[in-house]
Structure 1
């Protein structure tokens, strides 16, 4: 029979979705699964988006311009300039989800064999997007002990070669929830300018910053106009993951011209989604205030419960809606599958994402899991009770029974 490509064999499976068949089997058997594996919010999508779809009135469901409709790009410009990005409609290419924004940016900026530096753990699909384009990921480890802060710039410089073309950051971070500080962003700016690199800024979680902390984009920093590429999505901001609508933003006109050719090759983003996205920009601030308050409460519920468990450590994230927790286990992939295949408490179990898939360094994250606090507080509490009991009986736990009793 014909063989699949080497690229097809090399393409990594999603740590977020690869255990879905096991979860489906559990649910078919009548068990309840608490889905902490995927960033699918249960927050209601804004009424304005939904009403815009309900009130659509067109005779032909037509193509849109490859760069996105002018009316939607005007509304996006309004949104971003309210955040002091100082852009025009010409700086935006509308994409099919944030995923396509990342993919197009990589293809337009890097050639096969070029290198991109990414602090890890990082959004798992960066591994997939770079694999598709034959781009080499040069990971740089951040550590749970200091909350996954940005590694020292000196560590970045050790990795830079004549093949290095870009750095990717996700801020606030998926999967760790870490929110980069002004000093960290300034250090990245100086590094990018020193070596003339692109700085890709994945800003899917811009609205989700907690404890009064501020979000800082490289778009706020003078001197980076030719270097910065913002990759964004409506998925998380408006709890509209199924809309598959995002955008790529750059003030670099040569880059935008190249990126538009890739956008033309895939034709266009959807018309209905852009109609909804246009309406979304008018979502009142009160919506985000309520969402922020709810996620802050959920974060506190999850982090507090985890850190009360024997042998568990979880830093308190400053943004997004994820945590990475270190568990007293031998292997996160094995443990997460065991939770679905073998363990249940009162006919309930928990689905998590093994953190190994959020690293590129072999062996990293082997005792860590990512959890998304996208469920209500009551469900989160029940899920944590279930996890706590599972850790006590898991055959591959890495602390003794005595240690489990006396604490960390």
Structure 2
């Protein structure tokens, strides 16, 4: 009997989606689920994007350029210019989501067996993409006690070997919501230059920062031009997750030219999604301000509610729309299943993402969960109440 590949067997399950069968069963039993497990915004997509698709003048749904529409890339360059980032359209490669940008990046800069250092907890698909690329993720652990701040640079240096090709960060972070400071970015830039490494920054949440903080991109470090690769996406910025449009950005011509060969192999990014994404760039400044204000209110509601639950520890996120919470239990994988399968309050329950799936180090994050605060404040308050009651019953059973 033919067997699947060892690489296929090694591919991890999504920690976000592996609970889907339990959720489907709960819904069939008539339960309402408050989804705190997945970063699917409920913010409306900009009308500019939707109208561009509705009012299109396309007669033939043809391939686009493999790098994406030139008009789109030029507008993206203009978007970055507003954030003190000077790039040209030739420095941008449009991809089918930020996921493809990461896969192209790994394929362009690594060979089988190479290593990438990543602060953990990290976005779970980094591990999946590295498995596809037959490379190794080397974790450097950040701690909830420091709010998941950048680990000491000496901890990174301890892990650098002849196989190390890059350091990968998410800024602001998924799943932690941590926003790296300018000083932390500069420390990483110095390290990348010192050891001749690439510095990859996943900046898909760059617009969601709070408390008067500013996002500082690796592309603002002028001496890092040959080392810096940014991953971006319209998914969260414009609440367009289904568009599947992202991009990779780098001033390193060799990297972009290499990634282009991967892009040519998949022909082109989707045409209608590019039309919508290009139009979304015309959204007024008020769209961003209103969206960020909503997420800040939700963050504050979630954090204050979690802190009222005995035994719960939470790091305040300064960006994105996620946080990591430490619960007074030993196994959040079991607890998350139990919530869906065995518990409800008036036929209502919550769905969480166990944080162990965001670590590659064994036994890390077993008592933590990632929570996405993408629900409205009323639903968040209900979800927190349900979680409090669930923890009381679970810990006393």
Q: If the length of structure 1 is used for normalisation, what is the TM-score?
A: 0.96
Which deviations, in whole Å up to 9, do the C-alpha atoms of 1:229-287 show, x marking residues without a partner?
00000000000000000001010001111110001011110110111111111111101
SS of the equivalent of 1:350 reads strand
Cα offset, 1:226, TM superposition = 0.3
Distance 1:51 1:256 in 2: 32
Q: In structure 2, what is the equivalent of residue 128 of structure 1? A: 128
The match for 1:214 is 214
Q: Does 1:5 align with 2:5?
A: yes
For residue 320 of structure 2, what is the aligned residue in structure 1?
A: 320
1:161 aligns with 2:161: yes
Deviation of 1:122 after TM superposition, in Å, equals 0.4
Q: How does 1:26-37 map to 2 (within 5 A)?
A: 26-37=26-37
Query: Is the aligned partner of 1:90 residue 2:90?
Result: yes
What is the CA deviation profile of residues 109-160 of structure 1, one whole-angstrom value per residue up to 9, with x for unaligned ones? 0111000000000000000000001111100000001100000000000000
Alignment of 1:69-88 (within 5 A): 69-88=69-88
Residue 307 (structure 1) aligns with: 307
Which runs of 5 or more structure 1 residues have no equivalent in the other structure? 402-408
Q: Give the drift of 1:77.
A: 1.1
SS in 1 for 2:201: strand
Count of residue correspondences: 397
Q: Name 1:225's counterpart in structure 2.
A: 225
Q: Find the counterpart in structure 2 of residue 336 from structure 1.
A: 336
- The corresponding residue for 1:242 is 242
Q: Root-mean-square deviation (CA), in Å?
A: 0.9
1:346-372 CA-partner distances (Å, limit 9, x unpaired): 110000100001001010000000000
Look up the SS of the partner of 2:316 in the other structure.
Answer: coil
Residues in 2 aligned to 1:385 and 1:120: alpha-carbon distance in whole angstroms: 29
Between the aligned partners of 2:75 and 2:277, the Cα distance in structure 1 is 9
Partner of 1:60: 60
Per the TM alignment, residue 193 of structure 1 is displaced from its structure 2 partner at its CA by: 0.5
Deviation at 1:179, TM superposition (A): 0.4
Aligned residue in 1 for 2:185: 185
Question: How far 1:57 sits from its partner (Å)?
Answer: 1.6
- What TM-score, normalized to structure 2? 0.99
The answer for the alignment partner of 2:46 in structure 1 is 46
Q: Which runs of 4+ in 1 moved over 2 A?
A: none
Residue deviations 1:202-230 (CA, integer Å, cap 9, x gap):
00100000000000001011200000000
Gap runs ≥5 in structure 2 = none
Q: Deviations over 1:372-391 (max 9, x none)?
A: 00000000000000000000
Q: What is the DSSP-based 3-state SS (H/G/I as helix, E as strand, rest coil) of the residue aligned with 1:223?
A: helix
Give me the whole-angstrom Cα distance separating, in 2, the residues matched to 1:142 and 1:83: 28
